[in-house]
């Protein structure tokens, strides 16, 4: 609808990212992102996170591999992450949460994901509007997921979005999100779901964003 399109445009400008896809909630956003990016093998994530991070992995039927967080921080321990990537060759995707508005070492993690040739998705549900080295987070890894739940910084009472700078991935995410119709011509979905954000949610989120 028009309100959702307006919200996606305004979020794109605010976050400084090419593509924003509104979804009905962040858990659905994580599931769609994993469906679009993860092919086979295991997904690694910290053992300490909000349950939705693990639930999304379970929903797509993938194996979960756990790594550790730092001793006094919810952020991932880079040594633990790399050790698991070295030892478990089945890992093909990293899913990392940015909890409580704290940010992981984004540059070092990008280096690791490139080094071991794995997908990288951020669950930034709790980190909307946070900045890393002077830039709003939104384009780290292949995709990033945000939440607009009632407990978040901006809210649509329920809802969220997925961000990316990759046009092909954006079309793939869009086609998986919609239960009918096609977006663009780069990707024909095998699975679809009704993960769209409603106009009511989008209107509430626009009002919240304006404040």
CA distances from 114 to 93, 118, 182 (A): 11, 7, 31
Supply the pLDDT for residue 15. 97
When pLDDT is cut at 50, 70 and 90, the band that residue 3 belongs to is very high
Residue 186 has pLDDT above 80, yes or no: no
Kindly state the tokens that stand for 140. Answer: 């780290």
Instruction: Kindly indicate the confidence band of residue 193, based on its pLDDT and cuts at 50, 70 and 90.
Output: confident
Beta carbons of 164 and 144 less than 8 angstroms apart: yes
Q: What is the pLDDT of residues 55-108, one digit of tens each?
A: 999 999 999 999 999 999 999 999 999 999 999 999 999 999 999 989 999 999
Q: Is 60 exceeded by the pLDDT of residue 181?
A: no
- pLDDT at 185 exceeding the cut of 70: no
Pairing of strands 160-164, 143-147: antiparallel
Helices (H) and strands (E) in the chain, counts: 7, 9
Q: How confident is the model at residue 194 (pLDDT cuts 50, 70, 90)?
A: confident
């Amino acid at each position: 609808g028009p309100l959702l399109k307006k919200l996606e445009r305004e979020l794109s400008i605010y976050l400084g990212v090419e593509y924003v896809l509104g979804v009905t909630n962040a858990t659905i956003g994580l599931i769609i992102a994993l469906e679009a990016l993860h092919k086979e093998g295991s997904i690694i994530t910290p053992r300490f996170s909000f349950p939705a991070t693990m639930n999304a992995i379970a929903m797509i039927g993938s194996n979960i591999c756990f790594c550790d967080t730092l001793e006094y921080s919810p952020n991932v321990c880079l040594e633990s992450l790399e050790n698991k990537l070295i030892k478990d060759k089945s890992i093909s995707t990293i899913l990392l949460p940015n909890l409580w508005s704290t940010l992981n070492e984004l540059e070092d993690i990008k280096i690791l994901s490139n080094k071991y040739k794995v997908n990288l998705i951020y669950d930034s549900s709790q980190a909307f509007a946070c900045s890393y080295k002077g830039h709003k987070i939104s384009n780290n890894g292949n995709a990033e997921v945000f939440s607009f739940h009632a407990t978040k910084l901006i809210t649509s009472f329920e809802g969220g979005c997925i961000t990316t700078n990759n046009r092909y991935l954006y079309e793939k995410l869009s086609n998986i999100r919609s239960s009918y119709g096609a977006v663009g011509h780069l990707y024909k979905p095998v699975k679809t779901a009704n993960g769209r954000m409603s106009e009511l949610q989008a209107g509430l989120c626009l009002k919240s964003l304006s404040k």
